[in-house]
Chains A and B, each alone.
Chain A
Amino acid sequence: MSLKTNTEPSGTQHKPNNYLIARRPAQPFPSRLRSHMDTYGWSRVSPVGNEKEYWDDIHRNGSAEKNRRTAYIHIPFCGTLCTFCNFQRKPGTAAMAADYAQWVLKELKWYAQSAYVAQGGFEALYFGGGTPSLLPSEAMVELVTAARQTLGLADTAEITVESTIHDLNEEKLQAMVQAGVTRISLGVQTFDTTMRRQLGRISSKSTIAGTIAAARQAGIQTISADILYRLPGQTVEAFADDLACAVELNLDGVSMYPLIAMPGTPLEKGLERQSIAALPDLQIEMNQCRMAHQYLADSGYRQDTCTHFVKSKDKNLYANIRLDDGDCLPIGCSAGGYLGPLVLMNAMNRQMYQGQISADKPGYMGSLMLPAKSRLLRSVTGQLQRGFLNPKTVWQDGSIDVESIIADKLKSFQEKGLLAPSDDHYKLAREGWCWSYNIAADFANIASQKDAGADMMGDFSGAVKPQTHPHAVKYASRGKRSGMYGFTIKDLSVLGVMCALVVVVQFVAAMLLHLVGVAVIPGVMQFVMAFASCIVMFVALRKVPKAGALSIMSAVYSMVTMLMSGSILMGFGLVIGGVLGDVTAKQIGGIHKTAPLIIALMIYRVSQTTFSKLYAFITDMTQVQLVWYLIVLSIIMSAIGAVAGGFAGMKLSRKITKAGVMA
């Protein structure tokens, strides 16, 4: 690769290749953060605990805060799935999206009665996904119109719809314009047709140009497109071609994102198997980033946020309001947002979401109240992502001296040439833009670092390890979280869910067997219950193959059983069995292997059965002279059931793997 040494255009001809950089500047950070999710260190808080009261209050009486407002509507369906994406979406059809839109309309109806929404002031509405443009024209018009009416959006309000190229046709574009859509954000990713196919995109370069022209013709005011760099095997020159195409198409806005190999995506698997070319190294990536910044600036674009470049028509209101401490009302399944200090997340599962709406509730499922210190740091990171930092205008309640907290960091970044003073605030320098997430993350994690700022933040956090924001858990929790004896929150969630499944399965099995009278045949009951529970436990332990998982699961199982049945002593057998099984599995080769796992389950089950039978003996629930015979028979049958359940679990595990369940 031949690269030129200067960073300025060298010739009269204005081409991106002229911006290629050979000199490698010293890296200010050991690695580059590529997602805004990485800057959520400010969310490291203990919950304040009054989120429900706050939620009820603002919907009953309105919000006392006069924040700028925007709303986000999530459409969780895609016609085709991109290989790099693990966002909350499912393969779907237009009919499925239209059906889902009816639920969103019901949620909007709920919000219509809210005093918070009645206060108005919404400046922008964003339809994200998934692919909102999958909606049929009629459903799109109905949804946008209802949202505009409910939120009281003015005619000038910015309404953005994310879209793929192949979903847009003349009819749909007309419908969008008629409904009031002012801006579309196209998922172009790259103009290289071969690479587009590899990423799961189906339109060609010529189709893209045709669609953009059609959108202009239809009357869409602002057209923005997402372009990815750091694509597999992509050179700086190849990316330069993409940039040239974007400028040539005269897009009003261009978003530039580095490709991230998200865990569990086909892209990540392809990279692991080496069936896809490796991602470019950091030097190439940085060169691509610097080239984009310089070339787009010279082509008449202004950098609006760290990933978005705009011409005068593109206001990019939604992103700006969110980064400017504004409120964002989340609507639809798996949408997330903020209302002042309240972080909201709607039900991530469509059925759970529909359950919420059916019960005449909004879609929100989880929430968190941020303390003032968190809000302050969120505001700082928001400003930095917009390219500046003004200690006088960041959110604050007067209890913290902002300038003192950030003084050390400001000085450090100025020395590194990433920040520069400008009047009463600081601006990101040209190099700083490419490291903006790192800089923002550094400020966000201020409480966990040993400097003056951390001291002043006081009791902000007891933890020093970076943690993820609630909205980012799906994308970042895998393999990154530690603590709690090495278990991640997802591990514990799997164990908890599977425990509930074991309890329910055993309960149902016992009830059915009693109802049909089979339970009185000695041993059958224990066989069936051991079989059913060991299948589920096998699957759970294959998903969380850590030493101690069986102990935790049996302890939880025992407590749930105790709560449901009132019998405290019954639970002891489960715990003893779990610990014995765990120790055995560890001794003979680890819980991640099949044979030790089945033996562990057998030991667990036998111990539990022995204890429960002894318990039955103590409480005189069966005839004394038969009890030892029943105990021995039950233990044998329980052991056989556990082994059979383990083998059935193997089969089920294979089926689950084939189905692609990632948990």
Chain B
Amino acid sequence: MIRGYIQRLGQRNPNCPFERLDPRCKLLMLLIVTAMVIVGDGVACAGLFVAVGLLACFSRLVKLFFITSIFSIILWCVFFVIFNTVLKRPLDDPRAMFFGMVFRGTTLTITGVWFAMTTKLRDMTAALEAWKIPAVIILPLTIAVRFIPTLLHESLVIRDSMRLRRIAYRRLDLLRKPHLIGHSYLALVTIRSLKMADELAAVAETRGLARPGIKNTYRPACFKKCDYYALGLLTSLTIVLTTLSIVLP
């Protein structure tokens, strides 16, 4: 599943309404959501959680939304059991911890993945350039994001090679021979990564990413009506949730 999501990173989906938003608008939305998650109380976080769930439905991320929520709940249960039984120090406010782990954690994760999935790399680069962020940051960032699917593919190839050679190929080896797994993966992946850095540098050069001067793109970064609508909607939601937080006990 993770592989599927990572492969979607570089693909454009014209049916997705969020792809039409300016990446800077999405970054602002990310900032507002993060701020709300930090300063908001349980009611605000629960409201945001529901809103992000709706966002996930329209972005083909609903499966990830549920998995993250369930994973967070399981993790909260583990913490609950450990604190209450193993450490013998009952939790002061298990409800606050639940809100923190499930509502806040899931909201942040899904918003981030939503941004990554619905933003084409080239659009993001154009948006960052429009914000005058120096090329010295944009270039490695572009390469880093572009490289993640390749890295995953590489690690799968290494896993197959290890299976073929019967080196730490059982799941139990994760516990029995972690050093061997770490050594095999990390050394090989690092060496391959350095090689690939060469090739990606060539690609970056070909695409003219490092060249000075104004670059023309088919989707220039500019705020459109839909961006203002999206920001307006989020602001309204923020006001409603803040009001509810004050009104409700």
- What is the interface of chain A, defined by CB distance below 8 A to chain B? 44-50, 53, 343, 345, 347-349, 351-352, 355, 365-368, 461-463, 467-468, 470, 473-474, 477, 481, 483-485, 487, 489-490, 492-501, 503-505, 512, 514, 516-517, 520, 532, 535-536, 539, 543, 552-553, 555-557, 559-560, 562-569, 618-626, 652, 655-656, 659, 661-663
Q: Can you list 29 contacts pairing A with B, beta carbon distance less than 8 Å?
A: A46-B212, A349-B196, A352-B196, A352-B199, A355-B153, A367-B207, A368-B206, A474-B202, A493-B197, A496-B200, A497-B143, A497-B144, A498-B197, A500-B147, A500-B148, A504-B148, A532-B182, A535-B186, A539-B190, A553-B140, A560-B144, A560-B145, A567-B112, A619-B100, A621-B101, A622-B79, A623-B83, A623-B97, A663-B194
Known: A49-B215, A368-B208, A461-B213; 13 extra A-B contacts, CB below 8 A, are A462-B213, A467-B211, A492-B204, A495-B140, A496-B141, A497-B144, A497-B193, A501-B189, A503-B148, A514-B75, A562-B30, A566-B112, A566-B113
Q: Does B195 contact A (CB under 8 A)?
A: yes
Looking at the assembled complex, report how far the CB atom of B160 sits from the nearest CB atom of chain A, in whole angstroms.
12
Select B34's contact among A46, A467, A568, A621, beta carbons within 8 Å.
A568
In the complex, identify which listed stretch (B13-21, B131-139, B161-169, B233-241) lies at the interface while the others stay far away.
B131-139
A615 to chain B, nearest CB (A): 8
Q: Pick the contact of B210: A352, A366, A484, A565 (CB < 8 A).
A: A484
| Given A470-B205, A625-B92, A562-B140 contact (CB < 8 Å) | no
Contacts A49-B215, A463-B211, A562-B112; A484 near B135 (Cβ below 8 A) = yes
A659-B82 Cα distance, complex, nearest whole Å: 46
How big is chain B's contact interface, by range?
35 or more
Return chain B residues, CB-CB under 8 Å to A50: 218
Most buried by B among A53, A536, A562, A656: A562
Q: Given the interface contacts A47-B208, A496-B200, does A501 sit within 8 Å of B92 by beta carbon? A: no
The answer, yes or no, to whether B191 is at the interface (CB within 8 Å) is yes
Per the bound structure, the CA–CA distance linking A397 and B234 in Å amounts to 51
Closest B residue to A520 using CB positions: B82
Contact for A501 among B91, B111, B190, CB less than 8 A: B190
Task: Tell me, rounded to whole Å, the shortest Cβ–Cβ distance linking B69 to chain A.
Answer: 14
User: Judging by beta carbons under 8 Å apart, are A348 and B199 in contact?
Assistant: yes
In angstroms, Cα B31 to Cα A626, docked, is 29
Max chain A Cβ within 10 angstroms of own Cβ: one of B99, B105, B141, B213: B141
Whether B217 is near chain A, meaning CB under 8 Å from some CB there, is yes
Q: Bound complex: CA of A661 vs CA of B187, how far in Å?
A: 12
Q: Is the CB of A489 within 8 A of B204?
A: yes
Chain A residues, CB < 8 A from B110: 566
Q: Is B180 an interface residue (CB 8 A)?
A: no
Most chain A CB within 10 A, of B99, B151, B197, is at B197
Flag if B145 contacts A563 (CB, 8 Å): yes
Residues from chain B with Cβ under 8 Å of A463 in the complex: 211-213
* Closest chain A residue to B153, Cβ basis: A355
Contact A46 B112, beta carbon cutoff 8 Å: no
User: Interface SS of chain B: helix, strand, loop or mixed?
Assistant: helix
Task: Name B's A-contacting residues (CB within 8 A).
Answer: 30-31, 33-34, 37-38, 75, 78-79, 82-83, 89, 91-93, 96-97, 99-101, 104-105, 107-116, 134-137, 139-145, 147-148, 150-155, 157, 174-175, 182, 186-187, 189-191, 193-218
Known contacts A497-B147, A501-B151, A567-B108; is A483 also within 8 Å of B212 by CB?
yes
Q: What residue of chain A has the Cβ atom nearest to residue B219's Cβ? A: A49
List residues of chain B with CB within 8 A of the CB of A495. Answer: 140
User: Which residues of the other chain, B, contact A477 by a CB distance below 8 angstroms?
Assistant: 201, 205
Report which of B38, B93, B99, B108 forms a contact with A618, defined as CB distance below 8 A: B38
Residues of A within 8 A of B100 (CB): 619-622
Report the nearest A residue to B198, measured CB to CB. A663
User: Which residues of A sit under 8 angstroms from B38, Cβ to Cβ?
Assistant: 569, 618-619
- Point out the residues of chain B lying under 8 angstroms from A623, CB to CB: 83, 89, 91-92, 97
Bound: A474/B217 CA distance, A: 26
Pick from B145, B174, B182, B186: contact of A500, CB under 8 Å: B145
**Bound CA–CA A46/B187 (angstroms):** 38
Residues A48 and B137 in contact in the complex (CB < 8 Å), given A352-B150, A501-B189, A569-B34: no
- Residue numbers in A under 8 Å from B107 (CB-CB): 566
- Kindly report which residue of chain B lies nearest to residue A616, judged by CB atoms: B100
Whether the pair A499, B140 counts as a contact (CB closer than 8 A) is yes
Whether A503 lies near B206 (C-beta < 8 A) is: no
- Asked if B202 and A470 sit within 8 Å, CB to CB, the answer is yes
Complex Cα spacing A643 to B150, Å? 29
Using A556-B141, A566-B113, A621-B101 as known contacts, say yes or no to A516 and B151 having CB atoms under 8 A apart.
no
Residues of A within 8 A of B205 (CB): 468, 470, 473, 477, 489
Docked pose: A46 CA to B208 CA in angstroms = 6
Option from A503, A552, A619 in Cβ contact (under 8 Å) with B37: A619
Report B199 CB to chain A, min CB distance, Å.
4
Interface centre among B96, B193, B206, B211 (most CB of A within 10 A): B206
Partner of A621, one of B105, B109, B136: B105
Q: In whole angstroms, what is the CA distance A462 to B214 when docked?
A: 9
* Nearest chain B CB to A220 CB, angstrom units: 34
Q: Are A621 and B97 in contact (CB under 8 A)?
A: yes
Whole-angstrom distance between the Cβ of B173 and the nearest chain A Cβ: 12
Contact A493 B143 (CB under 8 A): yes
**Smallest Cβ-Cβ distance to B215: which chain A residue:** A46
The answer to whether B157 touches A351, judged by C-beta atoms less than 8 angstroms apart, is: yes
